Chain A
Amino acid sequence: MESKSEKYTPSAVSWAEMNTKNKGMRDKRVSLEEAAQIIGSGCHVALGGTQYNRVPIAIVRELIRAGKENLTVSRSLMSFEADFLLVAGVMKTAVTSWLSGAVTYGLSPMVRLYMENNRAKFEEWSNLAMGLRYMAGAMGIPCIPAKVVLGSDIARLVGLKTMECPYTGDKLALIPALNPDVAVIHAQRADKFGNVQIDGMTAMDTDMAKAAKKVIVTVEKIVPNEEIRRTPELTRIPFFCVDAVVEVPYGAFPYDCYGCYEPVHEHFRGYYKGFETAKSPEENTRNYIEKYFMETKSFEDYLALFGVNTIIKYSMVRKS
């Protein structure tokens, strides 16, 4: 399975690994630093949410501060966090369908610099293919048939295999499973055991959590187990999938967290403006990393850089 000739990030589906895991309903609360230690250099980390939605930036900051190296990072769609992970040397391979801010920002100068000069690898899939990769991983099967990616050059770039349906003869794409070593998900709430409730859009997080070997969850609020039991229909990830729970209010700021805060686009526009004035484009991203991630002693210090007014303004959101 871990053959070097694969053009895509392979996955070892292991029934035994999950089956032997301690699945007790125990207190999994840890600090951000402790949670980040679960992620070793060189491993495959999946980030929850999609694009601006619920970027687990508190853990991303820890990974950068801890100087993690050579990670494979997968996500449905990436956004600005990709710039930081590339320039900090954390991410060596991106497995995703989109590597940039949204179209309104244009191309990421950092993605261009790193990918055009082969300083990192972009393993490109379609967004549905990413979802099906996590879904196959969650189902404990090595691949899943689909009717996308066929005929495209994405198929050639990743070495997609196809098959004829044994029942109908239809041509099918076989999308390989993705089982991340660690999934990192930011959600609105969980109890201390890791029963996770996600409000609003769930992206691919439920499948990602089930596919991953370990799961770190950061939440806006840790709530009592009784509160979860009152609204079990809102629980997207059960405790036995989860390994660590960290309470981090504003843990996805300045990105998007449904019902809590909206993305601070003026902040991102400011970051992009920096590309025009910095000595070099890479210098702009390095400055950002220094200021927001390295020089801040705690996540609270990081939040303080945005200022109370900005945090309050972007927290006054529509609730439905």
Chain B
Amino acid sequence: MNYDPTEIMAVLAARALKDGQVVFAGAGVPIISSLAAQKLHAPSLTLLFEVGAVAPIVEIGRIPSSANESRSAYGSVMFPSTTETLLFCQRGFVDVGFLGGAQIDKYGNLNTSIIGRWDRPKVRMPGSGGANDIASCTNFLVVTWHEKMRFVEKVDFITSPGYLQGGNSRREAGLVGGGPLLVITHLGILGFDPMRKEMVLQAVHPGVDPQEVKANTGWDLMVADDLAVTEPPTQEELDLFRRLDPERRFLKVK
């Protein structure tokens, strides 16, 4: 089967979504993977967009380039305000959030704000948007490229909280629900140790050596004793993703 790294990431993200769930989706891979999940195995998966749109019907061929425009809202059953929409997360109505980031650390903390010193940033990124809210209040998936510069021992700035400093620190900070579930990368799938809350390599994609994953991680990565190999995308899955994003506007090949 011929597929590229972005496609396996998007396919695995779609598989992680279950029927009956409410998913808080952002632009790019999250929208595509959520739509694919609806068509493949989760027909009653509900999309929520932060602009304030509940269960919109996104047309294939008219996929919005952001979660904050009319195209991400047409066909909705309700237009709550942005504040009300994000409060659905805080109340517990959202099953899965979807996040990415320029940096992620071993506790799943994400940085989309500042690289370098806070008072004189090397790179000033766009910031949280709704990411901090989703990370604070939902079980979330992270979909990202697996590179040493991205997978750092400690992020320069915690925009969106994972398990903070590990152990019970997330709960102690006052964040009672949620946390990172899975990190899906172009090399494999990572989960979190139940006690230490540190990232653990759970599966590698076909043909990927766990040493390659370790070499692309900025700390000494734990590897599960029962390390699995992910099921590659099926032809049906690939056909669907290629139909959803024919121009590769969202599933960009690196």
A interface residues (Cβ-Cβ under 8 A, vs B) = 50-53, 76-77, 96-100, 102-104, 107-108, 111-112, 115-116, 118, 122, 124-129, 131-132, 134-135, 146-154, 157, 162, 170-173, 200-207, 256-259, 262-263, 265, 317-318, 320
Contacts and interface: CB of A to CB of B under 8 A. Distances in A.
B128 A124 contact: yes
Interface in B115-139: 118-133, 136-137
B79 interface: yes
B129 A77 contact: yes
14 contacts: A50-B68, A102-B68, A103-B100, A108-B126, A112-B124, A116-B122, A126-B131, A150-B174, A151-B136, A151-B170, A152-B132, A153-B113, A154-B159, A162-B174
A53 B173 contact: no
Given A147-B90, A151-B158, A201-B52, A98 B126 contact: yes
A199 to B, nearest CB: 9
Contacts of B119: 118
B83 interface: yes
Given A147-B175, A148-B136, A150-B173, A201 B90 contact: no
Interface residues of B, number: 60
A156 B179 CA distance: 20
Contacts of B127: 96-99, 122, 124
Contacts of B130: 97, 126-128
A207 B81 contact: yes
A317 B75 CA distance: 13
B74 interface: yes
Given A103-B28, A124-B127, A127-B128, A149 B136 contact: yes
A127 B82 contact: yes
B217 interface: no
B81 A115 contact: no
Contacts of B67: 102
B148 interface: no
A52 B68 CA distance: 6
B98 to A, nearest CB: 12
B9 to A, nearest CB: 15
Contact of B123 (A107, A172, A204, A318): A107
A281 B119 CA distance: 23
Given A50-B82, A103-B27, A112-B123, A157 B69 contact: no
